[in-house]
Amino acid sequence: MNGDQPIKRVFRLCSRSPRLVARIRVAIGIWLLLLTAILYRSGHGGQWAWLLTVAAALHFVLAIRLFRIARKGSERRMSFR
């Protein structure tokens, strides 16, 4: 079995339905922020808090880009009709 297959499936999913992938990224970003809050509140979030916050911010930025790609794709499809 080729090791590239799972990566190719993810790229294929992103190209077919960017809105779905963007929603998943938003959900992951929210989960990371909740995890940061839980760790910080329990007193164990010291070094992890900034790392998880940066990771959440990255997911939000990528989700915004995917939403823009999806919007441009739908505008192109509308113009061809």
CA-based end-to-end distance of the chain: 42
Is the entire prediction scored with pTM above 0.95? no
Give domain status of residue 1, yes or no.
Answer: no
Q: What is the mean pLDDT of the chain?
A: 79
State how many domains the chain has: 1
Task: Name the DSSP class of 3.
Answer: T
Give domain status of residue 57, yes or no.
Answer: yes
Q: What pLDDT score does 44 carry?
A: 75
Give domain status of residue 69, yes or no.
Answer: yes
Q: What is the CA radius of gyration of the chain?
A: 17
Give domain status of residue 7, yes or no.
Answer: no
Q: Please name which of 61, 53, 65, 58 lies closest in space to residue 14, comparing C-alpha atoms.
A: 65
What is the domain extent for residue 41? 19-76
Give domain status of residue 3, yes or no.
Answer: no
**Is residue 8 very low, low, confident or very high in pLDDT (cuts 50, 70, 90)?**
low
The 10s digit of each residue's pLDDT in 16-73 is 688 888 999 999 999 999 999 988 888 876 777 888 999 999 999 999 998 888 887 7
